[in-house]
Amino acid sequence: MHPFALHRWNAARLGGRDVVVAGYPASGAALVGNILTELGFGHLDPYTETVLPDGTSAVVEDRMTYRRRLAATAAEDRRHGVHRSADGLRFVKNHLHPDAFDAGRLAGAVLLVRDPRDAIHSAYHWFRGFAERWRLGDNGRGTFAAFLDGPVVNGEPPVEGWTRFCAAWLDALPAFRRSAVVRFEDLKSDPAAATAALLRALGQERAPREIARAVRASSYEAMRAHETAAMAEDGDRGADGPRIMRRGQVGEWREWIGDPALAARFRDPDLAATAARFGYRLSTSEGTAP
């Protein structure tokens, strides 16, 4: 099954233990998923697992190599094999719009958001590295400018896609039993505080020492080192190969925003208005609002 089709198929089969973690691609889903898995919560990747009729899930065998790149996911795969239980709260990575879900059936929803200039640019690099392996067509094989013109997820060009996705999810959150908004920049500047706030919003608690351990294990350095080792073990292309943990940087947009043509694409009024709802000021001279 095509990865996007599998994602939608899985979304229709979620239930009362599931919390949807909605984020535009490259907004920090790998980081959040690693932290939550380290804390002992269930985590479902709808592109690499299949939800079964009893609510459990099974890993898609030909995605095991990709999953081995993610530290906590790899550890869970070693511990449990390809089958996942249906016990406890489960967080579900998601790139679909909220109309794909019945809010009343689910345990909650989280909107994971990142400065669109960084999220879209990072998504470009992911597609550039992995689109062929995932049979996703030509996305990312050309220039960044070309990527901005083409459909990416949900059949939308990236600037329009980020705007519609984030606005729709922010408006939809009140319909869910419990909800939270998490900014990637806050996860990078104070991951323990951001994680604790997320858990409180969902009615969950973990001791500060547990959270501190989970965020240490999920640091960029730790996850990058794990991915490097996994790539070597699988005979991948080492330092030249595509990465999930590429840079994990806040404000990388400053390195390319000097290109007037690219900068103009991110002055879209709807994009700027939606970004402002999360505290992002989209100009070439200002970054994230305090």
pLDDT tens profile 222-234: 999 998 999 888 7
Torsion of CA 96, 101, 105, 107, to 10 degrees: 20
Query: Is position 282 within any domain?
Result: no
Nearest to 71 by CA among 228, 194, 183, 209: 228
Please check whether residue 160 is in contact with residue 266, taking contact to mean a CB–CB distance below 8 angstroms: no
Please check whether residue 180 is in contact with residue 196, taking contact to mean a CB–CB distance below 8 angstroms: no
Sorted by sequence, the CB contacts under 8 Å of residue 275 that are 6+ apart come out as 115, 116, 281, 282
- The region of weakest confidence among 97-106, 180-189, 200-209, 230-239 is 230-239
pLDDT mean across residues, the chain: 91
Distance CA 262, CA 275 (A): 17
Q: Is residue 183 pLDDT above 50, yes or no? A: yes
Q: Is residue 215 pLDDT above 90, yes or no? A: yes
Beta-strand relationship, 18-23 and 108-113 = parallel
| Domain count for the chain | 1
278: pLDDT confidence band, cut at 50, 70 and 90?
A: very high
Q: From residue 60, how far is each of 20, 66, 80, 137 by CA, in Å?
A: 20, 11, 14, 20
Q: What does the pLDDT read at residue 240?
A: 60
Q: What CATH number does the domain containing 224 carry?
A: 3.40.50.300
236: pLDDT confidence band, cut at 50, 70 and 90?
A: low
Q: What does the pLDDT read at residue 254?
A: 95
Sorted by sequence, the CB contacts under 8 Å of residue 239 that are 6+ apart come out as 228
Query: Is position 289 within any domain?
Result: no
Query: Is position 150 within any domain?
Result: yes
| Domain around 98 | 3-251
Query: Is position 287 within any domain?
Result: no
Query: Is position 290 within any domain?
Result: no
Please check whether residue 159 is in contact with residue 116, taking contact to mean a CB–CB distance below 8 angstroms: yes
Query: Is position 236 within any domain?
Result: yes
Query: Is position 269 within any domain?
Result: no
